Amino acid sequence: MTRMQVEGLEARYGRAQVLHGVSLSLRGGEVLCLMGRNGAGKTTTLRSVMGTLRPTGGRITLDGRDLTGLPAAEIPRAGIAHVPQGRRLFSDLTVRENLALGLMTRGADTAVQEAALDLFPVLRDRLSQRAGTLSGGEQSMLAMARAICVGPRVLLLDEPTEGLMPSAVATVRAAIARLRADGVAVLLVEQRVEAVLEVGDRVAFMEHGRIRADHPIAEVRADPGLLKRYVGLSV
Ligand SMILES: Nc1ncnc2c1ncn2[C@@H]1O[C@H](COP(=O)(O)OP(=O)(O)OP(=O)(O)O)[C@@H](O)[C@H]1O
């Protein structure tokens, strides 16, 4: 079974150290939610795992293989896909072409694309449309569909439902549940508590570039003090 381990990850922007030894571990078929206040380092953690920001310390392993310091292009090939903030689609390329780039990453076959389109049927009608002309919600769904086309063992999602209409939010959550059932390990940065409680198995709370607490979802439900302390939310 898939297992990703992050140990003592450190990262900086220029002279400012932002991650001070982030450790977490994630298994296939599990959704780990990363929560914390603005600026806690959630996005930086995902970027450091993907190698788009080169970590200055620590180790990342996937099923025992050390991925630390690999060029950013190698990380998706190793099986970790990312839906970043801002989505980073190729806006001049069509929906079909964006998905094809996902498929090429690890040589997934078109059945994987069909499965992704089954999760986001709205994209099926827009395969020839340029990504840049999709609505914001459709772009978010395309970014997720493209990541699914990689055929990842681990999927990193940075606030995938941000700015979406309720119906699209439900579609994205259903997709996360499907991936989990298929044994994908999901690391989800999410601000919305109800989303975390619905799709999460565990919550890791970040503060000032460190993981301060890591709890099964049942404990988060039972102890609203955790959300209040680390996210400033009353539920
Ligand atoms: N490109 C950058 N250059 C310099 N500092 C940055 C850069 N990106 C982020 N930071 C800083 O690093 C810290 C962590 O940012 P990060 O985006 O990881 O936080 P976050 O937990 O994802 O926050 P949010 O919930 O607001 O998205 C913040 O203090 C932020 O200002």
Of 81-85, 87-91, 199-203, 211-215, give the lowest mean pLDDT range. 87-91
Both tokens of 44, joined, read: 């930086």
Distance CA 36, CA 96 (A): 35
| Phi-psi region at 183: left, alpha or beta (left = phi > 0; alpha = psi -120 to 50) | left
Both tokens of 11, joined, read: 């990262």
140 Cβ neighbours under 8 A, 6+ residues apart: 83, 87, 160, 161, 162, 163, 164, 168, 172
Helices 110-119 and 166-181, packing angle to 10 deg: 140
Centre a 10 Å sphere on the Cβ of residue 169 and count the other Cβ atoms it contains.
19
Q: Which of 187, 189, 217, 186 is nearest to 203 (CA)?
A: 217
What does pLDDT average to over the chain? 94
Helices (H) and strands (E) in the chain, counts: 9, 10
Going edge to edge, which strands form the sheet with 3-13?
16-27, 3-13, 57-62, 65-66
- Compute, in angstroms, the gap from residue 115 CA to the centroid of ligand 1: 34
DSSP state letter for 161 = T
Give the ipTM of the model, two decimals please.
0.96
- Compute, in angstroms, the gap from residue 54 CA to the centroid of ligand 1: 15
Pocket-forming residues, ligand 1, beta carbon under 6 Å: 13, 16, 18, 36, 38-44
Buried b (16+ CB within 10 A) or exposed e, 83-121: bbeebebeeeebbeebbeebbebbebeeebbebbbebbe
Nearest-CA residue for ligand 1 atom 13 is 39
Which domains are assigned to the chain? 2-231 (3.40.50.300)
- Compute, in angstroms, the gap from residue 222 CA to the centroid of ligand 1: 30
| pLDDT tens, residue by residue, 17-66 | 999 999 999 999 999 999 999 999 999 999 999 999 999 999 999 999 99
Both tokens of 120, joined, read: 């986001």
Distance CA 98, CA 96 (A): 5
Both tokens of 75, joined, read: 């990380």
- Compute, in angstroms, the gap from residue 45 CA to the centroid of ligand 1: 10
Per-residue pLDDT band for 224 (boundaries 50, 70, 90) equals confident
Using DSSP's 3-state secondary structure scheme, residue 68 falls into coil
User: Is residue 234 scored above 80 in pLDDT?
Assistant: no
Q: Which of 168, 171, 102, 179 is nearest to 136 (CA)?
A: 168
Q: Which of 38, 49, 36 is nearest to 207 (CA)?
A: 36
Nearest-CA residue for ligand 1 atom 29 is 39
| pLDDT tens, residue by residue, 133-151 | 999 889 999 999 999 999 9
Nearest-CA residue for ligand 1 atom 17 is 43
Q: Write down the pLDDT at residue 235.
A: 59
CA distances from 163 to 124, 145, 157 (A): 22, 17, 14
Distance CA 210, CA 120 (A): 35
Q: Write down the pLDDT at residue 160.
A: 93
